[in-house]
């Protein structure tokens, strides 16, 4: 079995005083955005066994690459986000003093040499961040598979003094790189003997360092939870699913959608969760032999409940228990023949590879690119070829061939019919996705009821993904046998008795809806305690699940205080963080923040395009977030900003002056544009208008300045795949906790919950979803500024400075150690 290693990308732009950073800081922390579609319910990794490799301490990172040369190539199938990785490798490599070379057309360019291998400059990777595919090209190369081809490739590298190779591709591309490295000494001897290179050249290139980054939209590589391109592919798929849903509803049709995934069902599985599909076929878990009967019954039940459509997701590699392919056309013919439904097939194909990379993939590519350069420059002849990844909040380097072997083990298990093993080998995150899907899609609400009533409500500003969380909460609650109640308009609605029972069909189609269908308000409950107590009694509410932002957190704290006077408030309470600001204590990530981040990033892309056309123009962009600088920081890295001003990182007029001077120098290059992000409450005096006026005055004759306040567009739009998936899992987890807590607090038919652990916040901490008593989180909160006292993403801010060409000191003494991939025993999955 293998362990999925968590990673997390995050970017950011920075301003401010000169920074002395440590890579441990720079590369540490992220997880949230980053357990992206796959969080564990508990820590799944065993401590990794560290290898003997110890990082070398460099006093000056900006000179550690002097005299060295790095080549970067992309190979195999293209994936969105590859350009972000290439950009980071080039810029960080140049920052360290190394020469960096593009290898165009993948391994074919390495074999052919000539103009295919060109030196890169800082400006040559400008405007690459938002482009899909790979700008430097990729090709399937048969020549490199031969010894003669690798001999040519070695000569081309040696002649340019290149001894560090960064390969971005799938397992086949990375395996080829490892073979190349293993043969390096032999290849050099042959070249010297043939007179193709001199003895001196051979000595200077005595060993080859290889570092890999995984670019694959299938997310089929073991050793990282998310490969570069997977999130963007899910964006493309969900855009199409949403579009098809509207036409399917109009004509009461059934749609069969085929997505990529020849050997891995990740895309199909997450699409099914995020779209609320009726059925999904994946290669890791073929359906039972009588699946045709089950499928038809499931589709019929969905229509009986009032739905006007059915959605079936099929991975291209779907098979039955006997290894026979299950095709989209097979399913269509089955549905038409047995049910007579108007059924259509849509095969998405290569559209999944195309388009602009998501914010997540840009950040992932950028972080991995930075770490790859550090791994290359610290490499020694004894260092195995490695893959850079993230585990928890830490960058890790995993032996390349160990990851490749575990990846092959999954395919072997499927080929041998050991499908349970294959599913477990994918890791607990994959299993959790599969288990939540099975519960929502295949488990019917029981006829016997629990006798308990749960209420669900939204509090605070609307956030995309809230509705997905409500849908999951309601349906999982019904599966647990509870009576589910929907509270409209937050605490105010609870006080006014705006409560109604909600059934399975009442939340149909909610996963893709933005905003809050229940209605939400910022009103706090303290002044309504008596009315709220009466409502709880009148409707017999035994537990309350509150989905919202900082107001949900503070309002729940008020309810806890009210327990002393009002016994009706002594019921279990669970808060699920949902806010674009990502400022709720106790959770690294909030529902809605990913959607807002992608909205800001796409807007910045358009603004940069405008600036590139007019030349010599700087845009000042104001983002939401209150006092929390998460959106400005992350969007800064995802959009390639020159600076991001936030409250948590204080700045002075001197810092503003430094940034203006930096942009002035930038205008002398071929990149004649600038992008500055400002969090809305970063400084009460240095307002957006002030910064705009300052830049306008200081840039006279050098650049023009424009400003944009993005406003409430950041709260709107359809939720991203991550927010849909995250909300779905959070709702399921909250109901499971609530069911247990109600039973625990039940005494003689009455519920009395008055302990600290009866009112909790469900948050993502590193890779785990954990319940934390609200009372304990008070100590971790800055209530005046409505932010947590400690925020993990602040440690990532230095990366933007480097990528924006600021000269800062970088301590590399604590970069990631090389670790063995952890192997888990194949064990059963705990109940949800």
Catalytic residue numbers, as ranges: 218
From the list 791, 655, 645, the residue with the least C-alpha distance to 32 is 791
Distance CA(629)–CA(25), nearest Å, equals: 18
Strand residue runs (E) in 566-627: 573-577, 617-623
From the list 632, 624, 645, 679, the residue with the least C-alpha distance to 17 is 645
Q: Provide the CB-side half-sphere exposure for 649 (13 A, CA).
A: 26
SS3 324: coil
Whether 667 contacts 702, CB under 8 Å: yes
Whether 574 contacts 545, CB under 8 Å: yes
Q: What are phi and psi of 649, to 5 degrees?
A: -120, 85
Q: In the beta sheet, which residues pair with residue 709?
A: 622
Segment (H or E) for 85: helix 82-95
Distance CA(524)–CA(463), nearest Å, equals: 18
DSSP character for 449? -
Distance CA(319)–CA(316), nearest Å, equals: 9
From the list 432, 441, 433, 475, the residue with the least C-alpha distance to 456 is 475
Please enumerate in sequence order all residues whose Cβ is within 8 A of that of 241, keeping only pairs 6 or more positions apart, or say none. Answer: 257, 271, 275, 311, 512
Q: In the beta sheet, which residues pair with residue 454?
A: 484, 543
Segment (H or E) for 751: strand 750-751
DSSP character for 700? T
Q: Which residue has the tokens 């395009």?
A: 609
Segment (H or E) for 25: helix 23-27
Please enumerate in sequence order all residues whose Cβ is within 8 A of that of 52, keeping only pairs 6 or more positions apart, or say none. Answer: none
Distance CA(353)–CA(348), nearest Å, equals: 10
Q: Which residue has the tokens 């969380």?
A: 469
Distance CA(593)–CA(33), nearest Å, equals: 9
SS3 581: coil
Q: Provide the CB-side half-sphere exposure for 790 (13 A, CA).
A: 8
């Amino acid at each position: 079995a293998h362990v999925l290693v968590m990673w997390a990308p995050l970017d950011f732009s920075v301003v401010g005083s000169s920074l002395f950073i440590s890579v441990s800081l720079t590369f540490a922390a992220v997880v949230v955005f980053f357990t992206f579609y796959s969080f564990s319910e508990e820590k799944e990794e065993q401590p990794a066994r560290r290898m003997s490799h110890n990082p070398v301490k460099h006093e000056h990172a900006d000179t550690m690459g002097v005299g060295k040369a790095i080549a970067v190539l992309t190979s195999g199938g293209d994936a969105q986000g590859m350009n972000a990785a290439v950009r980071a490798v080039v810029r960080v490599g140049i920052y360290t003093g190394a020469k960096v070379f593009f290898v165009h057309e993948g391994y074919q360019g390495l074999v052919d040499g000539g103009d295919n291998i060109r030196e890169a400059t800082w400006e040559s990777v400008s405007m690459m961040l938002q482009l899909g595919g790979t700008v430097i090209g990729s090709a399937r190369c048969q020549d490199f598979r031969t010894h003669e081809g690798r001999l040519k490739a070695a000569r081309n590298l040696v002649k340019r003094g290149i001894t560090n190779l960064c390969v971005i591709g799938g397992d086949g591309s990375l395996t080829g790189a490892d073979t190349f490295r293993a043969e390096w000494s032999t290849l050099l001897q042959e070249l010297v003997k043939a007179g193709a290179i001199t003895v001196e050249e051979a000595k200077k290139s005595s060993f080859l360092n290889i570092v890999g980054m995984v670019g694959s939209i299938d997310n089929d590589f073991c050793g990282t939870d998310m490969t570069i391109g997977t999130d963007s592919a899910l964006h493309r798929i969900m855009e199409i699913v949403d579009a098809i849903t509207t036409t399917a509803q109009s004509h009461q049709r059934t749609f069969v959608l085929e997505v990529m995934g020849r050997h891995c069902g990740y895309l199909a599985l997450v699409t099914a969760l995020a779209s609320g599909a009726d059925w999904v076929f994946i290669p890791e878990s073929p359906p039972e032999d009588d699946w045709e009967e089950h499928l038809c019954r499931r589709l019929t039940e969905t229509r009986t409940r009032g739905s006007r459509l059915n959605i079936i997701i099929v991975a291209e590699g779907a098979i039955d228990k006997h290894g026979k392919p299950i095709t989209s056309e097979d399913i269509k013919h089955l549905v038409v023949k047995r049910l007579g439904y108007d059924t259509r097939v849509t095969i998405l194909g290569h559209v999944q590879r195309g388009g602009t990379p998501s914010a997540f993939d840009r950040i992932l590519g950028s972080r991995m690119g930075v770490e790859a350069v550090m791994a290359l420059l610290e490499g020694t002849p004894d260092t195995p070829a490695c893959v850079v990844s993230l585990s928890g909040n830490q960058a890790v380097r995993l032996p390349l061939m160990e990851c490749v072997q575990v990846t092959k083990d999954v395919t072997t298990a499927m080929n041998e019919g050991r499908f349970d093993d294959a599913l477990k080998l994918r890791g607990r995150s994959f299993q959790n996705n599969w288990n939540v899907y099975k519960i929502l899609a295949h488990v019917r609400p029981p006829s016997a009821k629990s006798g308990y009533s749960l209420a669900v409500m939204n509090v605070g500003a609307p956030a995309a993904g809230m509705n997905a969380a409500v849908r999951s909460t309601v349906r999982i609650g019904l599966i647990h046998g509870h009576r589910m109640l929907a509270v409209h308009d937050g605490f105010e609605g609870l006080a006014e008795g705006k409560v109604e029972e909600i059934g399975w069909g009442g939340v149909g189609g909610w996963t893709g809806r933005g905003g809050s269908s229940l209605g939400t308000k910022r009103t706090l409950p303290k002044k309504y305690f008596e009315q709220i107590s009466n409502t709880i009694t009148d409707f017999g509410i035994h537990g309350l699940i509150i989905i919202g932002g900082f107001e949900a957190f503070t309002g729940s704290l008020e309810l806890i205080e009210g327990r002393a006077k009002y016994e009706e408030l002594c019921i279990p309470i669970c808060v699920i963080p949902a806010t674009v600001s990502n400022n709720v204590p106790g959770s690294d990530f909030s529902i809605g923040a990913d959607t807002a981040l992608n909205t800001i990033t796409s807007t910045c892309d358009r603004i940069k395009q405008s600036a590139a056309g007019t030349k010599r123009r700087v845009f000042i962009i104001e983002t939401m977030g209150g006092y929390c600088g998460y959106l400005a920081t992350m969007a800064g890295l995802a959009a390639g900003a020159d600076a991001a001003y936030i409250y948590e990182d204080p700045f002075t007029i001197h810092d503003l002056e430094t940034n203006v001077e930096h942009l002035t120098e930038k205008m002398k290059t071929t990149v004649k544009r600038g992008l500055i992000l400002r969090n809305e409450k970063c400084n009460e005096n240095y307002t957006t208008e002030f910064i705009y006026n300052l830049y306008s005055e200081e840039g006279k004759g050098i650049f023009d300045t424009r400003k944009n306040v993005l406003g409430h567009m950041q709260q709107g739009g359809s939720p991203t795949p991550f927010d849909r998936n995250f909300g779905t899992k959070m709702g399921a987890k909250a109901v499971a906790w609530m069911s247990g807590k109600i039973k625990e607090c039940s005494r003689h038919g009455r519920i009395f919950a008055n302990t600290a652990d009866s009112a909790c916040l469900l948050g993502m901490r590193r890779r785990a979803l954990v319940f934390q008593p609200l009372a304990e989180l008070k100590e971790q909160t800055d209530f005046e500024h409505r932010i947590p006292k400690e925020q993990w993403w602040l440690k990532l801010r230095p990366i933007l400075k480097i990528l924006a060409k600021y000269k800062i000191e970088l301590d590399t003494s604590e970069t990631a150690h090389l670790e063995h991939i952890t192997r888990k025993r194949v064990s059963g999955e705990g109940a949800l």
